């Protein structure tokens, strides 16, 4: 993951993201520790908060004849948890 920062542009983008999110630059050991804290329950909780039973935003490009009705897609968001 840390080998992605080849050149000044990706490094500056990373610094900018960290400043926006944390108001500081995170040291690599702290960043690794934060990543290690993520587990299956964390992912489950995030999905429950942001995906399960939420109204999706739908966008399509091209012919939409085969695009399911919005209500059908919306009702499927409930069944994602089952």
Q: Alpha-carbon distance 24 to 43, whole Å?
A: 25
Q: Alpha-carbon distance 79 to 37, whole Å?
A: 28
**Encoding tokens for residue 59?**
């966008």
Q: Alpha-carbon distance 1 to 44, whole Å?
A: 23
Minimum mean pLDDT among 5-9, 22-26, 56-60, 64-68: which range? 5-9
* pTM to 2 decimal places: 0.61
Question: What does the chain come to in residues?
Answer: 82
Query: What residues does each domain of the chain span?
Result: 3-76
pLDDT tens digits along 1-28: 555 667 889 889 999 999 999 999 999 8
- pLDDT category of residue 33 using cuts at 50, 70 and 90: very high
Dihedral, CA atoms, 36, 40, 42, 43, nearest 10 degrees? 110
């Amino acid at each position: 993951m840390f080998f992605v920062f080849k050149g000044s542009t990706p490094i500056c983008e990373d610094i900018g993201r960290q400043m926006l999110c944390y108001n500081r630059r995170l040291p690599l050991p702290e960043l690794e520790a934060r990543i290690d804290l993520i587990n299956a329950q964390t992912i489950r909780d995030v999905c429950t908060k942001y995906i399960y039973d939420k109204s999706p935003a739908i966008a399509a490009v091209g012919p939409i004849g085969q695009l399911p009705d919005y209500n059908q897609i919306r009702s499927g968001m409930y069944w994602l948890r089952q």
